[in-house]
């Protein structure tokens, strides 16, 4: 009984103590680890792929609501470099999902002036998946509103190793001085470089109760506010997004300094 009560109290502490302020600061860049699709399906005696399919419906709802709130970049962790270890049939379904998703959602993205970006090792994706994401980026390239940024076949450690190799090669070639290497230069060699002023998330959300980063944007989230919820991704609603932002609005961001 005590453990159940304690768990409920922790959930209330995370989710219910801050109120979303429509006039408050909206995070410019929100990153989300969309976790819990498989467990959501299992609790309903459904196959794991049913959870992934429902999760894509949640992506559509959260994307449009984030755009309406004034978020500039929404980065979603869709498939990690480690996810290839999952069962073959599940991986095959996940590789087909962007094809079906963009086929139905691109017209809405265009209508809402949302631009698609995809970061990760895209060249390693199956041809049909690669074609779907490239088409989505091309079809929305002229949109000037929020950027919907998918991390697909992405891993932060691999990203940083790739950046380090590229910088090292420039030094070796004599086109870069070692003394010129700083935070800004390193950031501009990462996959988020094209996001410009919004490279680093203000708020990182992870659903489904896990409280770890899982190799996601580890350089970029150095000063991000972290928010964890026990709600599985398929159940994460626009109202819960506002609740997450409400917690963010109640935080004091000092970036290593002191509050004035």
* Binding site per annotation, positions: 35-40, 48, 52, 80-82, 84, 86, 206, 212-214, 225
Of 156, 81, 70, nearest to 114 by C-alpha is: 70
Residues at the binding site for Mg(2+) are 35, 225
Phi, psi of 187 (to 5 degrees): -60, -40
* Residue corresponding to tokens 């691109």: 106
* Residue corresponding to tokens 């590229």: 166
CA dist 61 and 66 (Å) reads 9
- Strand 115-119's sheet: what is its strand order? 115-119, 147-154, 73-80, 29-33, 203-206, 225-228
Residues at the binding site for substrate are 36-40, 48, 52, 80-82, 84, 86, 206, 212-214
CA 35 to the chain's CA centroid = 11
* Residue corresponding to tokens 């996810």: 83
Q: Residue 226 CB: number of other CB atoms within 10 A?
A: 15
CA dist 155 and 77 (Å) reads 10
Contact 215, 31 (CB under 8 A): no
Residue from 3, 10, 23, 35 carrying the catalytic annotation: 35
Host H or E run for residue 160: helix 156-173
CA 193 to the chain's CA centroid = 15
Residue 83 among the catalytic residues: yes
CA dist 255 and 253 (Å) reads 6
The conformation of residue 96, written as its DSSP 8-state character, comes to: H
Residue from 10, 21, 68, 83 carrying the catalytic annotation: 83
Q: Is the dihedral of CA 61, 242, 11, 220 positive or negative?
A: positive
Residue 68 among the catalytic residues: no
Residues designated catalytic: 35, 83
């Amino acid at each position: 009984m005590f453990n159940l009560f304690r768990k409920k109290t922790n959930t209330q502490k995370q989710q219910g103590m801050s109120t979303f302020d429509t006039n408050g600061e909206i995070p410019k860049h929100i990153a989300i680890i969309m976790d819990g699709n498989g467990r959501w399906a299992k609790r309903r005696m459904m196959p794991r792929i049913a959870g992934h399919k429902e999760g894509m419906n949640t992506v559509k709802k959260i994307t449009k609501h984030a755009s309406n709130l004034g978020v500039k970049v929404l980065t979603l962790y869709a498939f990690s470099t480690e996810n290839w270890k999952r069962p073959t049939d599940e991986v095959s379904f996940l590789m087909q999902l962007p094809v079906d998703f963009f086929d139905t959602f691109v017209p809405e993205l265009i209508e809402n002036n949302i631009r698609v970006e995809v970061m990760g090792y895209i060249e390693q994706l199956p041809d049909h998946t690669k074609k779907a994401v490239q088409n989505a980026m091309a079809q929305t390239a002229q949109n000037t509103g929020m950027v919907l940024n998918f991390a697909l076949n992405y891993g932060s450690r691999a990203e940083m190793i790739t950046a380090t190799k590229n910088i090292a090669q420039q030094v070796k070639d004599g086109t870069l001085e070692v003394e010129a290497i700083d935070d800004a230069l390193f950031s501009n060699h990462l996959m988020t470089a094209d996001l410009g002023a919004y490279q680093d998330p203000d708020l990182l959300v992870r659903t489904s109760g896990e409280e770890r980063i899982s190799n996601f944007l580890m350089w970029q989230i150095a000063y991000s506010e972290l928010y964890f919820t026990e709600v599985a991704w398929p159940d994460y609603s626009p109202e819960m997004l506002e609740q997450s932002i409400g917690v963010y609005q109640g935080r004091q961001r000092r970036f290593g300094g002191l509050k004035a």
